[in-house]
Each structure stands twice: as C-alpha cells, then as structure tokens.
Structure 1
C-alpha cells in the first residue's frame, strides 16, 4: 500500500495568507495533496507542483468547468463533494440513514479523480461514508473528538474501490491512522498550521512505507586479492548516518552490508553521502525490494539505505563514479551452509559490519562474521521469481 499525506487548506482554516503558508510548507515537506476550495486551484499551481483536490460546493456548473479551456491551471486533480452539504452536517442526515449517497457530481463522467468528504458526527455518517465510497476515488472521513472505532469500522467495510483518507490534527494521530487494524488508512488529511507538525506527518508517512529487514551474519570463508575491476561509488543526494550503508553483492540472494564513508580517515576526508559499493556487476537493493546492477545506476535513481538494525529508507542517487581499482573477493557461508560472494575495493576506507563492529575490508580474515541480508530466492531483471538459478 502506498500511503499519502493530504494537507487541508480550504477557507475553513483561515485567510489566503494562512492557507498559503500551509500549502508552501506542504510543498517543501513533500506532502502529496492539498485540499482547497475551487477558486484557489490556480493560485496553488503558481506556488509549486503538488496534487490539488478542490471542494465543489455549488453544483454542476462551476469555476472548475468554466476554467477547463480558458485556465487549464485552475482544473484540479480531484473534485471533492460534501462540504456545505450532507457530508459535513450542513444538511442533516436522518438518524436511521442506511441508503445510498446521492453524489451526482461523483457519479457523472469526469476526467478528474473524485472524492467525498464526510465528517463522522454520528453513526449514520459512517453509513453515509460507506455509501459514498462506492463511487468516490477518495473517501475523506473526519472524526469529531473521535475514538479509533469509526476508522476501524470503515477500514473493515470499505474495500479497494476507494482510497480511505483519515482526518488528523497531528503526526501522532497520523501514525495511529496508518496502523489501525494493522492495515491502516490509505492516506491522512492533516488539519494543522504548525510547519513542524506537517513535516513530522510526512516523516510518519515515509516510515510507514519502509520495510524493516531481518539482517543476519555470515562467516568469511575466503578473502583474496582479485586483481583490478571497475568499481562503483554511489554518491547520494542524502547525508547518511554513521550506522547506515547499502546492501550489495554478487549473488542477489545474499547481499553484504557495506558502510557509508561517514568515518574520518588518515587518508581521506569522510564522505557521508557515499557508499563505495563494489564492482559493476554487483547487485544493490532498491526501495521497492528489488535489485539493480551497480553499473545501471544513474543520477535520479533511488537506492535503499539500511542501518545496522535493518531499518530502511530511500536515497536519491546524485552521481555514480566508476573507476578501475584493485579488488578483494570476499566469500561467505550463511548459517544454513549457502555460499555467497562479493567483490569490494581493496582500500582501508571501505568498511563492513562485523560482529566486532565496523571493520575495514583490508582487515578482514577468515572466520570473521559479516552482517548480510539473505533471502532464498532467485531474481529476474531485479524481481524475485520462483525458479531455479545457480549463481557461483
């Protein structure tokens, strides 16, 4: 599931200066959507590139339709109904409501995504949201002083026909929404002015997307000089922490943890954005759980960064440096007796993670144990496949 963060920036949050501040922070933080009134769509487009959802409150003939040819920038990516109507309680629902949602704007043919906005004011509004979800690409539900029960109910009842967007007022509430019933909402709609809260909510989204890997140790059975090869340095557009690195190796099923060059050295200054990853043929793990050859990487690609506990995040490749350098061949044996290998540059600055801690590849000896990621599966064009492949 891909999680997204929406930022509420319609006229209910304040004047244009207040709304613009929220939108600007959303752009800078990396939020996915802003939810505004239809007359603000063009102004949002002027501020930057972000998905724009717009409330429609005055029927089928709107600013949005009129602007399609004259002002294409005023057309939103999604049209949302429910404000100033049944969705937000402006028009009351009967307490015994159990029918369908009469959302004609959503049901009509449209090139844009459609959304329904529902405040969960009472039990009948849960039923209304469930009915609206049948036709809406996005179903936004906002609880009033809510316990988590209404969200649990809707997660359980609403299928994949809609993206469920939970209204929240803090990053902490966003985390809860993403974790509810171990499934979570597809997205959150944050209603908050605090720029730090907006940034923290985006960080919660990113954390919810990331996997945690089960790293293990494998024993070094051979280490030998292997002559010169074409070595790849991966320079990222991100600063890496001291306990972070990348997973690389000659066999896709067993990837070795190689530290980022965050440590100072008598020989060269630290390069906390760099991982000296090995030879051109080696695999490197990517954020989607796949692999790429190091030789294939180029500026703008994403690679997976992992720490010693297996927590992952993504990093953008800024530059790839391929140079001829002397290499070591490192062969390891896993706990179940499988043999994996990789080639690493023969240099003191290349560090791997052993049981004893951060160790230069030049200091490795047979019997040392290296931290690896192991999965007993073959790969075809970087994708895991169920077939027999021999790598040696």
Structure 2
C-alpha cells in the first residue's frame, strides 16, 4: 500500500464573467484557483501567469529567472508533445521550479508516467490539467504515485464536489470487539468481493449487520495447503450485510458490482479506495458472530470456512472456524444512527 500524500485540487472556472463571483462563492474545500489574482479577491490563493499570483506560472526559462528573484513559488507550464518536452520539464525542475504543469491533450497517461518517474524524488510537484471529475480520479492514480495536483477546468459545482471526493481520506476508529456468541445458522448466500487492488497483511473490509457495528474481515492473502492466496479478495459475508463506501453511504454486499468503489481498511483504521472487479454470490454454510464493543452490540454472518479470517488486536489472524465466545477481534463501533437508502440520518432506530 502506497503511503498517501497531500494533493491539490485547483479549479479553473469556465463560467461566463457575469457568473464568476457566484460560482466562486459556492466552492467548498478548494483553496487554490487558476484565475487572475484580482478575481480571487484575497479569499483564495491563486496560481496564474502573473507576478501578483501566490504561485507564478512561467512559460520560459527567462520568466523563471525573474520569478526566482521575487522569492515567490514559481513553476513551469509545458504542453507535452514529445520526449524532448519531457526533457525540458526535467530541466525546469533542476532550475528550481516548485511545480510543473503538464498539458498533454492526446497522449496523457504515458507522458505523465515518464515525468512522475523522473521527478518523484525531486522537490518539484507535478500538476496536470483535467476537464472532468473522472479525469481527475485517473490523474491521481497515474503510476500508482499519482500527480501532486490537478487543475480542473469546469463550470459545474457538482463536478468540483465529485473531484474533491478523490482527495478525501478516511480513518475508522478500530477497536477490540469481544465475541459473545458463535452460532451455525444453516446455509445462505454469501458474497466474495474481488477488487482491482492487491491487499496486504492486516487489510480487509468492514462488514456488519449494522452500519455502526462492523468487524474487520481480512483479505485472502494467506493461502493454505488446499487454496492459493488471493490477495485481491475479501470473502465478505452474507448478502444482507453492510459495508461503508467512499461516498459516505452504506451498501448491501448484494449491491456491489464491477466498478463500485469500496473502502479497504487496515488494522490501524486507515482506509483506501479500491474498485470492485466482480462480486460472486454463492450458497454456502454460514456462521453468526455476535460481538460487543464500547457499549454497542452487533452481529455479522460470514461463510463458515477456514479461509475467512478476522484480525486479533495483536495483528494475528483468526479463522472464523476457530472463533469462540470470549475471543477479541478488531472491528468498528459507534453510537447508532438511522440510514435511509444507505445515507446516514438522525433518527431513533433499534436494530437486532
């Protein structure tokens, strides 16, 4: 798992001049605009081709020399059409550019991969341009490291909000859950979630019968004499079970499908996004576990098989076939709240 790094979402408004002030007033979670400094009126930092901007964009090496004398952070803008342009960007970094802005319309991914590979150990940030939130998501994932920032050209507040979600991080308060009951519950349908990401030791998905009480179900990176490791898979639980998705909502496991985003969570509670490649629903023998933590109680129904494992507080794995009342495993628990079509709402609710 790559350590998360700070990333910048920079907005370049494309609304008509008459609607610019209203558009800017609606921006939330954005701190830098690609506009003339006078337009920002001191409410945002600016990145622009002006010595008055907070971050000065240069298009020539002479401009960089002048900007360097001003003491302000400065960068280099380059439209990338060939490897010669990539070499020029590397020289700009060596000349002291705080950031470089890569504009690559036709070939976008490969040039960025080459530039990130060349500059990822330097102090120069790599920025690029985008025209949609989907493109922003792609840019932040290039060569796994991703770019340091994206300049999003848009006239849509909704697109800005969607793009901002790509910067969001999540931390769950993981705590020991004491198991108070283990019971066979016959057969039923369970869901295997195969993601497009590899998982390591200590990582899995939060699964439960309630949105406020879940257990950390480990991935299948540990094989056995009868099964090969599948570090992209979480044998998550029965079809009705909840997991929490990056949009802040809960989803039933039965709803997960190719393209759905889920949180992969480690034993410290750090979460990262992963895309579901497929989900497999099959009939299997099931096991109910009931646990207690922080005054909250909850259950989860998992497949009754040796390869489904939970995580103990010391980090060791515990197969569900070996779980006994009194054991402690890691999970997530908080005071109950209601859910309406997966969205959290404040209402009285009792779930058993």
TM-score normalised to structure 2 length: 0.62
The size of the alignment, in residue pairs, is 252
Aligned to 2:80: none
Alignment match of 2:17 (pick from 107, 112, 125): 107
Is the CA contact (8 Å cut-off) linking 1:5 and 1:189 kept in structure 2? no
- Structure 1's consecutive aligned runs of 4 or more residues displaced over 6 angstroms after TM superposition are 113-116, 135-138, 146-149, 203-207
Aligned to 1:330: 289
CA distance in 2, matches of 1:228, 1:372: 24
Is the CA contact (8 Å cut-off) linking 1:249 and 1:283 kept in structure 2? yes
Aligned to 2:204: 245
Could you say if the C-alpha distance between residues 211 and 224 of structure 1 is closer, same or farther in structure 2, counting changes exceeding 3 Å?
same
Aligned to 1:142: 55
Cα deviation, residue 106, structure 1:
6.0
Three-state SS of the structure 1 residue aligned to 2:254 is helix
Unmatched 5+ residue regions in structure 2?
A: 1-5, 25-31, 48-53, 57-66, 74-92, 103-111, 121-125, 127-142, 151-164
Cα deviation, residue 355, structure 1:
2.4
Could you say if the C-alpha distance between residues 137 and 321 of structure 1 is closer, same or farther in structure 2, counting changes exceeding 3 Å?
farther
Aligned to 1:340: 298
Cα deviation, residue 107, structure 1:
2.0
Aligned to 1:379: 339
Alignment match of 1:351 (pick from 292, 309, 324): 309
More helix by share: 1
Alignment match of 2:147 (pick from 202, 215, 231): 202
Aligned to 1:60: none
Aligned to 1:369: 328
Alignment match of 2:271 (pick from 291, 305, 312): 312
Kindly provide the CA deviation profile for residues 208-251 of structure 1, in whole angstroms up to 9, marking residues without a partner as x. 52112211111000001110010000011111122210001011
Aligned 1:1-392 pairs, distance under 5 A: 4=8, 107=17, 117=34, 129=37, 131-133=38-40, 139-140=46-47, 141-142=54-55, 190=101, 194-196=115-117, 197=120, 198=126, 200=145, 202=147, 209-336=168-295, 338-356=296-314, 357-376=316-335, 377-392=337-352
Kindly provide the CA deviation profile for residues 132-156 of structure 1, in whole angstroms up to 9, marking residues without a partner as x. 125999942415569899xxxxxxx
The structure, 1 or 2, with the larger RCO (C-alpha pairs under 8 Å, 6+ apart) is 2
Three-state SS of the structure 2 residue aligned to 1:202 is coil
Kindly provide the CA deviation profile for residues 256-293 of structure 1, in whole angstroms up to 9, marking residues without a partner as x. 10001011211210111100000000001111232100
TM-score normalised to structure 1 length: 0.56
Kindly provide the CA deviation profile for residues 73-99 of structure 1, in whole angstroms up to 9, marking residues without a partner as x. xxxxx65xxxxxxxxxxxxxxxxxxxx
- The RMSD of aligned alpha carbons is 3.9
Three-state SS of the structure 2 residue aligned to 1:277 is strand
Between 219-228 and 284-293, the greater mean CA deviation after superposition: 284-293
Is the CA contact (8 Å cut-off) linking 2:177 and 2:293 kept in structure 1? yes
CA distance in 1, matches of 2:299, 2:288: 7
CA distance in 2, matches of 1:212, 1:204: 22
Kindly provide the CA deviation profile for residues 302-352 of structure 1, in whole angstroms up to 9, marking residues without a partner as x. 01111111111111111010000000000001132x210000100000010
Is the CA contact (8 Å cut-off) linking 1:305 and 1:315 kept in structure 2? yes
CA distance in 2, matches of 1:224, 1:209: 38
Cα deviation, residue 117, structure 1:
4.8
Could you say if the C-alpha distance between residues 366 and 195 of structure 1 is closer, same or farther in structure 2, counting changes exceeding 3 Å?
same
CA distance in 2, matches of 1:266, 1:203: 43
CA distance in 1, matches of 2:253, 2:8: 30
Is the CA contact (8 Å cut-off) linking 1:5 and 1:190 kept in structure 2? no
Is the CA contact (8 Å cut-off) linking 2:289 and 2:300 kept in structure 1? yes
